Amino acid sequence: MTDSTPSHIATDTAPTTALGLGPDELEEIDNILDDLRSRGEEIPQWEFCDGFLTAVICSRRPIPPAEYLPMLLGDGAELDVAAGDPLPLLPAFADAGQQARFMELWERRRNEVEIQLDAKVESLDDDRTFQPEAMDMRGAVASLTDEQRAEMGDDQEVPSFGQVWALGFMFAVENWPEDWAAPRDKEAAQWLDEALTSIVALTEDDTGKPEVCIYSEDGPPSTSQARVDAFGEAIWAVYDLRQLWKSMGPRVETIRKAPEPGRNDPCHCGSGKKYKKCHGA
């Protein structure tokens, strides 16, 4: 971009607080997803959903729920819903009440993320800074007793810190490729590439030496310092993407003028006259 503003500092003035999801509501939305998963095994966990939600917010084009919700929780087919009309009941939900509650919690998280990404922050330690709903699953498993780990079994692959969140983000990017296509401006295209590269890095396994535990301050080491640093870079990358697409706006469709008929051809209006003596006059 030609703007000299540091890429990790949002330029818009925004409210600094939002009614986000507390522990009880995060547990509630986890329980809803667990119930949905009993009817459809492809339903993702909340960490994946939060990454997906963040990408939808950062998208160049505003994506309506009728378009993104079936992609996340259904068969991917866009719902035929007029602007402003309520969503029909998706097959994944048990009833309209469950869907309404999920959407209420979803919108609260969405509002919180939008406010965080539009706030002017310069440090990850700022209370207003965006924080992905990423779970240190390896730290959680390492903190279990031997008996609890034995009950889990050894055949379950435990994802790295931030990995599931990043997979959810990139799932949205990959399913709306036109909205994430590189802009013509070379500097903007490089900015986009670098930001997405930072997020893609989190989709990879953390193979570094475990040094810290994100799950608990006194827990056994489960995450490498390199992974912690990469997670911070991914957060700034999200700010960059939000700022990039907000500054550029939705992609403008190219309008191509249809070729005009020859001067002596019949006019397209159906008058029976030659074009030169009718609309071509």
Please tell me the distance from the alpha carbon of residue 73 to that of residue 167, in angstroms, as a whole number. 15
In the predicted model, is pLDDT for residue 250 greater than 80? no
Dihedral of alpha carbons 242, 243, 244, 245, sign? positive
| Confidence at residue 145, expressed as pLDDT on a 0 to 100 scale | 84
**Model confidence pLDDT, tens digit, residues 24-58:** 999 999 999 999 999 988 999 999 999 999 999 99
Average pLDDT over residues 139-164: 86
Average pLDDT over residues 162-176: 98
> To which residue do tokens 């119930």 refer?
35
In the predicted model, is pLDDT for residue 266 greater than 70? no
The distance from CA 2 to its chain's CA centroid, rounded to whole angstroms, is 25
Please tell me the distance from the alpha carbon of residue 180 to that of residue 61, in angstroms, as a whole number. 9
Q: Six-digit token pair at 125?
A: 């330690």
- The pLDDT > 90 percentage for the chain reads 70
pLDDT band of residue 149 (cuts 50, 70, 90) is confident
**Model confidence pLDDT, tens digit, residues 188-233:** 999 999 999 999 999 999 999 999 999 998 999 999 999 999 999 9
- The pLDDT > 70 percentage for the chain reads 82
Q: Six-digit token pair at 62?
A: 């505003």
| Confidence at residue 18, expressed as pLDDT on a 0 to 100 scale | 54
Beta-ladder partners of 212: 223
Average pLDDT over residues 137-159: 85
Q: Where are the beta strands (DSSP E) in the chain?
A: none
The closest of 43, 46, 80, 45 to 64, measured between CA atoms, is: 80
| Confidence at residue 272, expressed as pLDDT on a 0 to 100 scale | 57
Residue 260, C-beta contacts closer than 8 angstroms, at least 6 positions apart: 275, 280
pLDDT band of residue 72 (cuts 50, 70, 90) is very high
pLDDT band of residue 91 (cuts 50, 70, 90) is very high
| Confidence at residue 59, expressed as pLDDT on a 0 to 100 scale | 97
78 half-sphere exposure, CB direction, 13 A CA radius = 8
Mean residue pLDDT of the chain comes to 87
Of 161 and 272, which is predicted with more confidence? Answer: 161
Of 208 and 257, which is predicted with more confidence? Answer: 208
| Confidence at residue 83, expressed as pLDDT on a 0 to 100 scale | 81
The closest of 166, 199, 196, 175 to 68, measured between CA atoms, is: 175
Of the listed ranges 2-16, 158-172, 180-194, the one predicted with least confidence: 2-16
The distance from CA 244 to its chain's CA centroid, rounded to whole angstroms, is 15
| Confidence at residue 268, expressed as pLDDT on a 0 to 100 scale | 53
User: Residue 106 in contact with residue 26, Cβ under 8 Å?
Assistant: no
User: Residue 16 in contact with residue 115, Cβ under 8 Å?
Assistant: yes
pLDDT band of residue 15 (cuts 50, 70, 90) is very low
147 half-sphere exposure, CB direction, 13 A CA radius = 0
| Confidence at residue 148, expressed as pLDDT on a 0 to 100 scale | 83
